[in-house]
């Protein structure tokens, strides 16, 4: 039998346990794929005495990472401990010690990915991170290998299962955000502190990673415009349904004339758009290449075994390359200099919901404002609101295509107009036009 590959694992939580289960339960398939046995040797844990529902009889548990990082028998480090600074340090140390690394850490890769990939290249090591984006969906490998010959112009997706679960339930069951969030926390779909998910930060990290790969451009997390879902209301959902749209938290990376736009925000998608049908905690990434056209990657975005599957798939790729005697990551240096689109270059439609005074001339004032910026109305809804002492109406507008700079000027003026009582909500509209 060919000489085996030995693995050290940093972390034995939900995902780490899934990795062990796959390594032990799928050993025959893994040997068939790689031509050699793969075995875990040591695992870093916080408490060795903690009872575990896992067969770890032949493994060494340690509370000291150095026991793994400096073990000369260990060929590959799998990092599934989470966090940023400590994990970044361990990955860096592993690479400098000549050990290949597989990680699921989106935070580290979003913040330090360029540095770590360069370190991997300089030390002849592989650093793979498929599980850092969309869990078990092979979107990174799809972009870097399956679409390697194409030129990607756009990636947009639902890359956070927590927010998709919340928005799905709000739309389907007409329930408020806070109520559905509490349910998601009870079911384990949302953390006790859900800030990273609901404010769009988790999705922004993943979009930064995808954009860096798909556009071969050294974009950073700070380049992503971020807006979360905490202000989404059931009223917004009802209007979306009436107008033929579905509201989703979308991560978007778009390239136009060598300049890119990166954003994460709630967006309205036509009901016939492929992403509109992605429900509950599922993820999907929609990729457009100049040659291949439209493709979509869909599946569970989190969970022990789906994420562990992506990690072990990366491990298999590393083992195959070890046996072939090839070097480490060879495309760590970006091909293009970073160039971000200005607000005047970012084009989209917009949905806006207003409360206005129900009086003669109100609509004329609104129309004049939009006309000044050369922005037309694609759709318009208006209803009177019951208030005997203060007659008012609710107005919902979907604009024609315009640029972000013009829309921001309109929005600012609306907030200051005498006839506008309140700007209730505003969302971007993407993905084509509803007929």
Q: Is 206 a catalytic residue?
A: yes
Question: 327-354 burial, b for 16+ CB within 10 Å, e for fewer?
Answer: ebbeebebeeeeeebeeeebebbbbbbb
Phi-psi region of 159 (alpha: psi -120 to 50; beta: other; left: phi over 0): alpha
Of 265, 219, 256, residue with least CA distance to 341: 256
**Residues 353/240, Cβ–Cβ less than 8 Å:** no
Q: Which helix (H) or strand (E) holds 119?
A: helix 106-122
**Residues 268/240, Cβ–Cβ less than 8 Å:** yes
The catalytic position among 206, 227, 254, 392 is 206
CA gap 233, 402 in Å, rounded? 25
**Residues 60/43, Cβ–Cβ less than 8 Å:** yes
**Residues 376/331, Cβ–Cβ less than 8 Å:** no
Of 103, 91, 107, 339, residue with least CA distance to 218: 339
Q: Which helix (H) or strand (E) holds 168?
A: helix 161-173
The 3 state secondary structure assigned to 390-411 is CCEEEEEEEECCEEHHHHHHHH
The burial class, CB within 10 Å (0-12 / 13-18 / 19+), for 240 is buried
The distance from CA 231 to its chain's CA centroid, rounded to whole angstroms, is 20
Q: Which sequence positions are flagged as catalytic?
A: 206
């Amino acid at each position: 039998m060919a000489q085996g590959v030995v693995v050290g694992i940093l972390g034995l939580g939900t995902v780490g346990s899934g990795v062990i289960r796959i390594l032990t339960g799928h050993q025959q398939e893994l040997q068939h794929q790689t031509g050699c046995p793969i075995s875990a040797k040591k695992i870093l844990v916080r408490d060795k005495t903690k009872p575990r529902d896992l067969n770890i009889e032949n493994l060494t548990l340690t509370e000291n990472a150095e026991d793994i990082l400096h073990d000369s028998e260990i060929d590959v480090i799998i990092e599934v401990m989470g966090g940023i600074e400590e994990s970044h340090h361990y990955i860096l140390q592993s690479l400098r010690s000549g050990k290949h690394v597989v990680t699921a850490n989106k935070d580290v890769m979003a913040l330090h990915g360029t540095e770590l990939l360069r370190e991997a290249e300089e030390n002849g090591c592989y650093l793979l991170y498929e599980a850092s984006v969309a869990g078990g969906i092979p979107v990174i490998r799809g972009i870097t290998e399956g679409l390697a010959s194409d030129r990607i112009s756009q990636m947009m997706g639902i890359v956070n299962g927590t927010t998709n679960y919340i928005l799905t339930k709000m739309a389907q069951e007409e329930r408020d955000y806070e109520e559905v969030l509490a349910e998601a926390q009870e079911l384990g779909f949302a953390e006790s502190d859900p800030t990273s998910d609901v404010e769009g930060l988790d999705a922004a990290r993943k979009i930064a990673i995808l954009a860096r790969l798909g556009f071969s451009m050294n974009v950073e997390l700070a380049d992503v415009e971020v807006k979360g879902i905490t202000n989404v209301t059931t009223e917004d959902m009802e209007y979306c349904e009436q107008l033929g749209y579905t509201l989703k938290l979308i991560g978007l990376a778009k390239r136009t004339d060598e300049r890119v736009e990166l954003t994460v925000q709630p967006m309205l998608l036509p009901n016939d758009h492929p992403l509109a049908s992605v429900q509950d905690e599922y993820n999907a990434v929609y990729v457009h290449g100049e040659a291949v056209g439209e493709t979509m990657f869909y599946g569970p975005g989190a969970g022990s075994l789906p994420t562990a599957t992506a990690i072990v798939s990366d491990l298999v790729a590393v083992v195959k390359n070890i046996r072939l005697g090839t070097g480490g990551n060879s495309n760590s240096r970006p091909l293009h200099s970073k160039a971000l689109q200005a607000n005047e270059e970012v084009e989209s439609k917009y949905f806006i919901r207003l409360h206005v005074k129900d009086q003669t001339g109100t609509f004329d004032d609104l129309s004049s404002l939009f006309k000044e910026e050369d922005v037309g109305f694609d759709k318009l809804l208006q209803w009177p609101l019951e208030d005997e002492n203060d007659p008012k109406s609710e107005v919902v507008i979907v604009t024609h295509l315009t640029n972000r700079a013009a829309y921001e000027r309109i929005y600012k003026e609306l907030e200051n107009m005498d006839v506008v009582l309140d700007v209730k909500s505003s969302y971007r509209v993407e993905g084509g036009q509803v007929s």
